[in-house]
Chain A
């Protein structure tokens, strides 16, 4: 039986980031256990966007920090972080005024969001229909990165260091000592002894919790997305968001396809089903053509689904939880990928020193047990 300082369950953006920062902080024995291949869960199915335009202080701070880390990671592990901005379209005076206030909060925390006129919005993205807009919010530091490049970048980086990354290894049991501390993690292929376990299993986090007798407040919701045939790169640079059109988000990938989706319908129930639905295809098509009329001539090439692993208040669950040495890093409710570097650094700091300057307290999982729900973070793109 191998003994490891830290076992991380889940080889998505969260688990890989935590392993990266642990190794930076000098923790030698780290294993990441991924039941499929890196990025095969929600990371590889996400909308690729990274933004700091949130509406609460903690999340803005986490994401401002994350964008700085994304820049450095891109250089160090070799992928592209394309800072092409997030452009929020506003359709009423009321919405515009609300976002003016959010902009002030973002500016006060160092996020350089600007309010644009409809004409200025169009200069950033020529095919937009701006005739019904009252304005737009734009943060040029927001952007996007290709998830597969990110996870394979981490994988390559780990091949030269101490982190052991195992794919196609499923965890089957977690054994606790009599006094409640962690003892070992059993996989379908080998057993590890460890005192620190990180649950970064995304939509499958509840199954890992169950192995420790925990009922985790995380539920998987199907979230669908589409990609069109490729167009000339540079046609839609920013991630365009329209709350009016079912919280639609869309942008262009580096290969030219238009990728995006719309918000989860309110009557959607938690499910592990990732079947695509025609209803979604209709909703996304109506939203996209209302935002960019010429998209009606574009053809949908692929349509897929992943999970928004959702917590009761729509905010992540980050920190040590119930079993000593068990750290939860899940429940992002749709913005885990973008936050991954801050979560990685913060959780690695908690594990190594017990404290972090990042506002992880705000996401303390025990808040749910105490009934202290946070305001839901804006959940799209």
Chain B
């Protein structure tokens, strides 16, 4: 990607996080997946990071000059897809058991 385009590229569609913001965070010292996620909120939207985290992984590897395999993905959290509370709560109208 050309230098001029950096910053216009949305990496996380759910949270509107751009490549420039991610690169800036990495250079501020938020240089692991876990830290980039906490700092920029990348990967914390409704898709759960499915689209963006592999991209962030590549950006991290590139910025740190390391192999892709050296960048760990953050721990996956339940639920796998956004889960409506009413499905988990059981029948409607049922309150605390």
Residues of A within 8 A of B92 (CB): 296
A350 to B77, CA, bound (A): 41
B89 touches A301 (CB 8 A): no
Q: What's the minimum C-beta distance from B81 to chain A, rounded to whole angstroms?
A: 9
Chain B, Cβ-Cβ closest to A255 = B41
B88 touches A246 (CB 8 A): no
Residues of B within 8 A of A276 (CB): 77-78
Q: Does any Cβ of A come within 8 Å of B90's Cβ?
A: yes
Q: Mark A274-300, 1 if CB is under 8 A from B, else 0.
A: 001010011101111110000111111
A290 to B85, CA, bound (A): 11
The prevalent SS among residues of B at the interface is loop
Q: Does any Cβ of A come within 8 Å of B65's Cβ?
A: no
Residues of A within 8 A of B9 (CB): none
A353 to B86, CA, bound (A): 55
B85 touches A288 (CB 8 A): yes
Q: Mark A28-72, 1 if CB is under 8 A from B, else 0.
A: 000000000100100010000000000000000000000000000
Q: What's the minimum C-beta distance from A56 to chain B, rounded to whole angstroms?
A: 27
Max chain A Cβ within 10 angstroms of own Cβ: one of B38, B41, B44: B38
Q: Does any Cβ of A come within 8 Å of B83's Cβ?
A: yes
Q: What's the minimum C-beta distance from A254 to chain B, rounded to whole angstroms?
A: 11
Residues of A within 8 A of B79 (CB): 281, 300, 303
A289 touches B86 (CB 8 A): yes
B95 touches A289 (CB 8 A): yes
B38 touches A286 (CB 8 A): no
Residues of B within 8 A of A286 (CB): 89-90, 94-97
Q: Mark A226-261, 1 if CB is under 8 A from B, else 0.
A: 001100000000000000111000000001000000
B44 touches A300 (CB 8 A): no
B38 touches A44 (CB 8 A): yes
Q: Mark A289-330, 1 if CB is under 8 A from B, else 0.
A: 110000111111111100000000000000000000000000
Q: Does any Cβ of A come within 8 Å of B35's Cβ?
A: yes
Residues of A within 8 A of B85 (CB): 228, 285, 288-289, 295-300
B83 touches A299 (CB 8 A): yes
Residues of B within 8 A of A302 (CB): 44, 48, 77-78
A303 to B77, CA, bound (A): 6
Q: Which of B32, B77, B86, B88 contacts A297 (CB 8 A)?
A: B86
Residues of A within 8 A of B32 (CB): 37
Q: What's the minimum C-beta distance from A186 to chain B, rounded to whole angstroms?
A: 25
B89 touches A296 (CB 8 A): yes
Residues of B within 8 A of A290 (CB): 95-96
Q: Does any Cβ of A come within 8 Å of B46's Cβ?
A: yes
Q: Which of B34, B41, B88, B96 contacts A300 (CB 8 A)?
A: B88
Chain B residues near A (Cβ < 8 Å): 32, 34-35, 38-39, 41, 44-46, 48, 77-79, 82-86, 88-90, 92, 94-97
Interface CB pairs A-B, < 8 A, 20: A229-B82, A244-B96, A276-B78, A281-B79, A281-B83, A282-B90, A286-B89, A286-B95, A289-B89, A289-B95, A296-B84, A296-B89, A297-B85, A299-B46, A299-B84, A300-B83, A300-B85, A300-B88, A301-B82, A303-B77
Chain A residues near B (Cβ < 8 Å): 37, 40, 44, 148, 152, 228-229, 244-246, 255, 276, 278, 281-283, 285-290, 295-304
